Amino acid sequence: MSLFALDAPLDAAICGEKAARLSQLKREGFTVPDGWVVSADTSDLDTVARALTPSRDRPYIVRSSAIGEDGDTSSAAGQYLSVGPVETPSALIEAIQACRESYQSENAIAYRRQRQLPDTAMAVLVQPYKQASVAGVAFSRHPLDGAPFTAIEALPQAAAVVGGRQTPEHLEIPKAAAASSEIQQSDLLPADVLSLLVEQVARVEALFHGIPQDVEWVWDGDRLWIVQSRPISNLRPIWTRTIAAEVIPGAIHPLTWSINRPLTCGVWGDIYTVVLAERACGLDFSNTATLFGSHAYFNATLLGEIFRLMGLPEQGLEFLLRGEDMGKPPIASMVRNVPGIVRLLNRERVLPEEFERDCETIFDPALDLLESHSLTDLSVGELLERAEQIQDWLKPITYYSIVAPIGLAIRLALFRVSDESLSNDSSPEILSSRELQNLAADLRMAANGDFNSDRLDGLLTETPELSARFQTWLTTYGYLSEVGTDIAVPTWSDRPDTVKTLLFSLVRQAATEATGKTQIGWGKRWRAKRCEGRARVRDRIAEIYARLLAHLRWTFVELERRGRAEGIFAREGDIFFLKYPEVREWASRERPPETLAPLIAERHQQLEADRARVIPPVIYGNQMPVSRGVELEVATDLRGIPASAGCVEGVVKICHSLASYSAAPTDVPVILVVPYTDAGWAPLLASAGAIVAEVGGQLSHGAIVAREYGIPAVMNVSGATQKLQEGQRVRVDGALGTVEVLSDRPEVKV
């Protein structure tokens, strides 16, 4: 006889996912009724009946726990039979047989065929029958779109709730209200029981790594029982802004995405195929990323499956969804994946040599060629060929831009080197910031106390030495922008007036000098040297990648200029609202130009609307959650990733883009709060008293600049630009990664 108790760990391949999940919940301390699993190969049901001895005083319920039921992508809800209460041994045997037979019902077979599920076997779960005062289902997130609500349906009888023959009481409780115990009593449940249910459902979701759960529960008038938990199958896949928000932040134009998505997905697919080899078959890497509300998301469900195949810990999904610690992989998993990991490490080991070879044969000649031609001398056809060629060059540099940071992170971990120990003398963000700071200091001296913008502009234009230095700076770093991966965003050279505004604000401030690196012992210095070579390679890769993207942008800008001359494009930047195939169709005269204007207008309106909306960090399923009137939580204390040590108290200055920045004199340090940082933000960041960014980590551009200039910085503070208010007084602790709000209302206008 194969009879397994819920108190012990259960194998889902033998006992079914339903029983295995209940076993896990029970062992984690949830109030799950006792239970026993009758495996599919158990034929001696008389012995089972004698062992469990059902009676009128000890009734049971018999439920399906089919192999594959309650899985991540299919629930099989309502397909199999449940029987209860069962009060005699003979009735128990009949119930088990009936439950097994339901596996072969026409409806169940049709369901498996429709969902393309294999035929497996039916284990049966037997549990004490709980006489419910109230019972129902609770969803850890709204079952329609994954919005942050606990949705509860309750009736005096459990079967009536899932059976759909009666209208249950329906409640939708915002997660924020649940956290603060602001829950009102329902018609069926006291407030304390309802609060406990909401808390239990949240814990169940957390136990299963943030995957939304459909939880069946029973309230017997004394205790709240969990009788089933399964993923909400329609809230799949799960999409996350973790990583994506840093790689390509902000609202994204269609042209940028139509080029970036296949490029990035293809490179990641190649990298994972190196590690997984034949196990990568069947994975759709083209589905690695998508847009919701014009913002990029990565497929956490797909990446979670890749993590599983690579033997990484289950906490990997929590890292993607909530940014938590990845944890250490099991030794057995590491051993199974040694060949793939060795292949990846071998690729990384030879990366500097391969990169130098490609610099000589591909990248340096490509940049020389791009910079030797005047765009105005090229025909429309030649401009299209140029755009195609740049995209071909972007494929290998995109590979390097992904693998190089991975290699650097591995070396930092192996040699136990902190980010602060690295020299950043080769990073574009540091070099550009230093040179602009030096120019500001000399311009300040030349101004002799008169810092009026017209006066400064005159000095910069009329003083040959200062003018030449400014033009050299623009020529050297003009490829940078506030979002280096988004070709729709103007570069420094496209907006020299923005750079001038920033330069003049630096002139008006006291000069800020880089603090330099803390002196460390020779041992740490030796270890740091082992990593700095990779850091320099990473910086060189980042420069080439950004320069190629800038040339791609300028190519499209020239195409747009030709279109504006023909009256096809009405405004600057209109071309970026087309997808690349649409640009090609227009330029090659395959598409009537009059069809473009309404398309551009529609997409322009949508992008502006998406910029103004609240973008959730995680999306469940394939649609943005509907706004249900829940107000944003008011910030008291915020926490993120500590990126640069130091503690500063000052006033908040929210800056959504470089173009929107305007400096105002204030007697207290300015805490610059930004949605993201890129190399193009560096000069602005260097002038702040402290930095708070919604995305990014310890190796992001903002963190590097902050450490260089000794500015406290906290990265990855979700929703900071919305939760904090301009002029609020806050205290930023860059070592702890905290932002403490000291005043509820703005105190200073900045």
Q: Report pLDDT for 628.
A: 60
- Other CB atoms within a 10 A radius of the CB of residue 34 amount to 11
- Cβ atoms of residues 706 and 643 within 8 Å: yes
Distance CA 660, CA 658 (A): 5
Cβ proximity of 34 and 128 under 8 Å: yes
Tell me what pLDDT residue 566 has: 87
- H-type alpha helices, 323-452: 331-336, 338-349, 351-358, 364-372, 380-414, 428-447
If DSSP codes are grouped into helix, strand and coil, which group holds residue 506? helix
Residue-level pLDDT at 469? 93
Give me the pLDDT at residue 515, please.
52
Distance CA 675, CA 149 (A): 26
pLDDT of residue 234: 80
In this prediction, residue 747 carries a pLDDT of: 62
Nearest to 741 by CA among 728, 750, 749, 733: 728
pTM: 0.79
Most confident of 53-67, 249-263, 705-719: 249-263
Cβ–Cβ under 8 Å, residues 351 and 271 = no
- Residue that has been written with the tokens 């259960």 in this structure: 10
φ and ψ at 632, to 5 degrees? -65, 140
More confident residue, 59 or 316: 59
What secondary structure, in 3-state letters, does 257-326 show? HHHHHHHHHHHHHHHHHHHHHHHHCCCCHHHCEEEECCEEEEEHHHHHHHHHHHCCCCHHHHHHHHCCCC
- The pLDDT of residue 578 is 96
Percent residues over pLDDT 70 in the chain:
85
pLDDT-wise least confident of 19-23, 70-74, 264-268: 70-74
pLDDT score for 162? 47
Question: DSSP letter at 360?
Answer: I
Residue with tokens 């992008």: 607
The encoded tokens of residue 339 equal 């060949």
For 217-246, what is the mean pLDDT? Answer: 86
**Among the listed residues 55, 141, 67, the one whose alpha carbon sits nearest the alpha carbon of residue 103:** 67
pLDDT by residue (tens digit) across 489-502? 999 999 898 888 88
**What is the Cα–Cα distance from 141 to 143, expressed in whole angstroms?**
6
pLDDT in tens, 175-207: 766 544 566 667 888 888 888 999 999 999 988
Residue 631 pLDDT level (bands cut at 50, 70, 90): very low
Q: How confident is the model at residue 253 (pLDDT cuts 50, 70, 90)?
A: very high
Of residues 581 and 410, more confidence is placed in 581
Q: At what angle do helices 428-447 and 496-508 cross, to 10 degrees?
A: 60
Model confidence at 699: pLDDT above 70: no
pLDDT at 629 exceeding the cut of 80? no
Measured CA to CA, the distance from residue 216 to residue 223 in angstroms comes to: 14
Classify 607 as helix, strand or coil.
helix
Q: What is the 3-state secondary structure (H, E, C) of 66-113?
A: ECCCCCCCCCCCCCCCCEEEECCHHHHHHHHHHHHHHHHCHHHHHHHH
| Cα atoms in the 13 Å half-sphere on the side-chain side of 164 | 2
Average pLDDT along the chain: 82
Q: How confident is the model at residue 273 (pLDDT cuts 50, 70, 90)?
A: confident
In order of 22, 484, 621, the CA distances from 73 in angstroms are 18, 37, 11
Residue 694, C-beta contacts closer than 8 angstroms, at least 6 positions apart: 245, 674, 675, 676, 716, 717, 718, 719, 720, 721
pLDDT at 476 over 90: yes
Q: What pLDDT band is residue 736 in, cutting at 50, 70 and 90?
A: confident
pLDDT at 529 over 80: no
Of the candidate ranges 4-13, 121-130, 202-211, 527-536, the one whose mean pLDDT is the lowest: 527-536
User: How far is Cα 711 from Cα 23, in angstroms, rounded to an integer?
Assistant: 50
Q: Is the confidence at residue 691, as pLDDT, over 60?
A: yes
Report whether pLDDT(291) > 70. Answer: yes
Distance between CA atoms of 535 and 415, rounded to whole angstroms? 14
Q: Determine if residue 116 is left, alpha or beta; phi over 0 gives left, psi from -120 to 50 gives alpha, anything else beta.
A: left
Of the chain, the percentage scoring pLDDT greater than 90 comes to 26
Question: Is pLDDT above 70 for 340?
Answer: no
pLDDT score of 522 more than 70:
no
What gap in Å lies between CA 241 and CA 252, rounded to an integer?
Answer: 13
Cis peptide before 237 (omega within 30 of 0): yes
**pLDDT at residue 427, as a whole number:** 80
pLDDT tops 60 at residue 709: yes
In Å, how far from its chain's centre is CA 4?
40
Tell me the pLDDT band of 510, cut-offs 50, 70 and 90.
low
- Minimum mean pLDDT range among 10-24, 112-126, 361-375, 466-480: 112-126
Q: How many residues does the chain have?
A: 750
3-state secondary structure string, 53-65?
CCCCCCCEEEEEE
Q: Is the pLDDT of residue 72 over 70?
A: no
pLDDT at 729 over 80: yes
Question: Per-residue pLDDT for 322 more than 80?
Answer: no
Least confident piece of the model among 34-48, 111-125, 188-202 = 111-125
Q: Are 168 and 153 in contact (CB under 8 A)?
A: yes
Of residues 99 and 361, more confidently modeled:
361
Distance of CA 527 to CAs 347, 486, 537, 698, Å? Answer: 22, 35, 17, 19
Token pair of 83 as six digits: 């029987």
Position 321 scores a pLDDT of 60
Band (633; pLDDT cuts 50, 70, 90): very low
pLDDT score recorded for residue 280: 73
Identify the pLDDT of residue 311.
63
pLDDT tens readout for residues 418-449:
766 677 677 888 888 889 889 999 998 998 88
- Residue 634: pLDDT band by 50, 70, 90 thresholds? very low
Whole-number pLDDT of residue 719: 82
Structure tokens at 475: 């020529």
Neighbouring C-beta atoms of residue 461, cutoff 10 Å: 12
Q: What is the mean pLDDT of residues 256-283?
A: 82
Q: Measuring CA to CA, how many Å separate 343 from each of 268, 339, 351, 396, 536?
A: 15, 6, 12, 18, 23
**What was the pLDDT predicted at 603?**
95
Which tokens sit at 252?
A: 């994204």
Contact 419, 703 (CB under 8 A): yes
Neighbours of 214 (CB within 10 A): 25
E strand or H helix at 177, and its extent? helix 175-179
Buried b (16+ CB within 10 A) or exposed e, 514-534: beeeeeeeeeeeebbeebbeb
List CB contacts of 140: < 8 A, sequence separation 6 or more.
Answer: 150, 201, 202, 204, 205, 212, 213, 215, 232
Q: Please name the residue that has the structure tokens 């706004």.
A: 627
Query: Taking the CB of residue 143, how many other CB atoms lie within 10 A of it?
Result: 20
